[in-house]
Amino acid sequence: MDLWFEEYQTKDMVISCRVLRTLHQEKTPFQELAVLDTVEFGRMLVLDDVIQTTIKDEFVYHEMITHVALNTHAKPVKVLIIGGGDGGAVREVVKHQSVEKVVLCEIDGAVVEASKKYLPEISCALENNKAEIVIDDGIKHVRNNKNTYDIIIIDSTDPVGPAEGLFSAAFYKDIFDSLNEEGIFVAQTESPFFNDSLVQRIFKDVSGIFPLTRLFLANVPSYPGGLWTFTMGSKKYDPLDVDIEKIESMNTKYYSPAIHRSCFILPPFVKKLLG
Amino acid sequence: MDLWFEEYQTKDMVISCRVLRTLHQEKTPFQELAVLDTVEFGRMLVLDDVIQTTIKDEFVYHEMITHVALNTHAKPVKVLIIGGGDGGAVREVVKHQSVEKVVLCEIDGAVVEASKKYLPEISCALENNKAEIVIDDGIKHVRNNKNTYDIIIIDSTDPVGPAEGLFSAAFYKDIFDSLNEEGIFVAQTESPFFNDSLVQRIFKDVSGIFPLTRLFLANVPSYPGGLWTFTMGSKKYDPLDVDIEKIESMNTKYYSPAIHRSCFILPPFVKKLLG
């Protein structure tokens, strides 16, 4: 059978992947969920027709959304992940010795269940004894947990549908209040090529709330254009001050101490967005 | 009209772009040539159904295939570009004060003509008095010009069709002989995600011929996966020894002195390919 999945990366650009099998398909209270087995990317989690993570390239996104922030903090103990129901971020966070607890706050329990069943390589750490899974709205969770976390990771879908509120200045203020006095937050913040105004707006919003704001880059081939931004807000620690010689190796495929430094080196066209 | 261009990036992965107008279409003696005006990428040069360069992102590829090598050489005077009929590499090369002559050796004159007519922002320097355009086979040209060039840039299509020979070890040996004693060559060498065995094989071949071989990365969103490799072979100069403080700014949008250093920082999964 000649089966293809098509994602409208924008209304004028589509990526199509040949599908071997549809492993799962379900309409949850929040979104359309599918797990597809594709030729080029292997198994793939799709939410509302948008690729979230794939077996082939998930390591890039999950290593970069976690280790850069955790290795910037002197001693991250309590970590919150908002979204990230596939468990990939949890898997990377628990590699850090200092971490005693990682709370995963995912609004859609169906994402967690499907990931446990069909993406074990990604979801494997969800059963870890340091991990606590909360099925709830991340916005509500941070409002109810002030001055609590060392690290908050916003591992969200695109800024449409359920995740829209996770890209607002009001939410970044709630994040600030949910972090303790040395806290750091990091969020996936879309493409500098195809969503430059959003990248620009978020950096401005976060800069208005946190004493230190940094943007870094990684290449996720299953996302539009490949190049992806992550925005970090920090109350005390600067990722550029980290002594990368002291970063302990964690058996990663994209992140490394050298990448910890180089991911902040922005091409002029990206730097320009930050004003 | 609902018009789309589809590129099979692999036989199981397709990128589709909405087309506003087909500006030019022709069957040359070497390949199928088209210039399309697309919504997401603007005007686009397409050869044998593969995107070569686009108005939106051409700066990444053209700045990175030129400035890294030219700023590694103490005084590049004579430069050869093989392929690159769109003229984008020439445009960047002539920004370097020391360059007295840049020879563009393009096998297909139709590419030069179409680029002059439909892609003036890219082809603008083809009329520059430092530029000499030779319509010929690059393999023949390097064999007939021994010990001649300071820099040779292989700005080719994919390793199928006309460009196949430009990815062979025998050709890299001819390149070595066509360079003078301090010469450097650089080539676009495809994706580390979707063509890893080719990247690996080329690095091994070049390492067997040149005293110094380096691989660097850049993100070209119109290419499969975005992340792209460039392989450099050098007889004397090491790009990592360059004092980046001394690099003169050249009004670039992707390349910068800091990028000159950071583009060689490879994620572990890429480093692994180099053995």
pLDDT tens-place string over residues A172-205: 999 999 999 999 999 999 999 999 999 999 999 9
- Give yes or no for residue A218 having a pLDDT over 90: yes
Q: Assign residue A12 the CATH number of its domain.
A: 2.30.140.10
Q: Cα–Cα distance between A162 and A30 in angstroms, integer?
A: 7
* d(CA B89, nearest CA chain A) in Å: 18
Residues A230 and A177 in one domain: yes
A20/B contact by beta carbon, under 8 A: no
Residues B65 and B177 in one domain: yes
User: Does residue A158 have a known ligand-binding role?
Assistant: yes
Beta strands in A28-97 (DSSP E): 32-38, 42-47, 50-54, 78-83
User: Does residue B157 have a known ligand-binding role?
Assistant: yes
pLDDT at B160: 86
Q: Which residues on B lie below 8 Å from A40 (Cβ)?
A: 10, 12-13, 194
Residues B239 and B108 in one domain: yes
**Chain B CA closest to residue A267:** B254
Buried/exposed code over A135-152 (b: 16+ C-beta within 10 A; e: otherwise): eebbbebbeebeebbbbb
Residues B176 and B257 in one domain: yes
pLDDT at A166: 92
A8/B contact by beta carbon, under 8 A: no
A135/B contact by beta carbon, under 8 A: no
Exposure of A182 in the CB half-sphere (CA atoms within 13 A): 12
Structure-block tokens of residue B77: 């005077």
Residues A20 and A136 in one domain: no
Its domain, for residue A74, covers 58-273
Q: Cα–Cα distance between B108 and B32 in angstroms, integer?
A: 11
Q: Do B12 and A268 touch (CB under 8 A)?
A: no
Contacts of A182 (CB under 8 A, 6+ apart): A73, A74, A150, A235, A236, A237
Q: Do A12 and B39 touch (CB under 8 A)?
A: yes
Number of structural domains chain A divides into = 2
Residues B36 and B78 in one domain: no
Q: Assign residue B79 the CATH number of its domain.
A: 3.40.50.150
Size of interface A-B (CB pairs under 8 A): 108
Residues B63 and B88 in one domain: yes
Helix %, strand %, coil % of chain B (to 5): 30, 35, 35
pLDDT at A249: 84
Residues B153 and B258 in one domain: yes
Nearest CB neighbour to A253, from listed B56, B59, B268? B268
Catalytic residues of B: 155
B256/A contact by beta carbon, under 8 A: yes
**Chain B CA closest to residue A217:** B219
Q: What are the pLDDT digits (tens) for A67-80? A: 999 999 999 999 99
Q: Cα–Cα distance between A85 and B194 in angstroms, integer?
A: 27
Burial grade of A11 (CB within 10 A; 0-12, 13-18, 19 or more): exposed
Q: How far is CA B120 from CA A204, B113, B220, in A?
A: 36, 11, 20
Q: How far is CA A241 from CA A206, A237, A274, B193, in A?
A: 20, 8, 20, 31
DSSP conformation class of B1: -
Residue pointed to by tokens 């001055």: A147
Residues A41 and A114 in one domain: no
Residues A125 and A210 in one domain: yes
One digit per residue, the tens of pLDDT, for chain B of length 275 reads 899 999 999 999 999 999 999 999 999 999 999 999 999 999 999 999 999 999 999 999 999 999 999 999 999 999 999 999 999 999 999 999 999 999 999 999 999 999 999 999 999 999 999 999 999 999 999 999 999 999 999 999 989 888 888 999 999 999 999 999 999 999 999 999 999 999 999 999 999 999 999 999 999 999 999 999 999 999 999 999 999 999 988 899 999 999 999 999 999 999 999 98
Q: How far is CA A206 from CA A198, B48, B217, in A?
A: 12, 45, 29
A167/B contact by beta carbon, under 8 A: no
Catalytic residues of A: 155
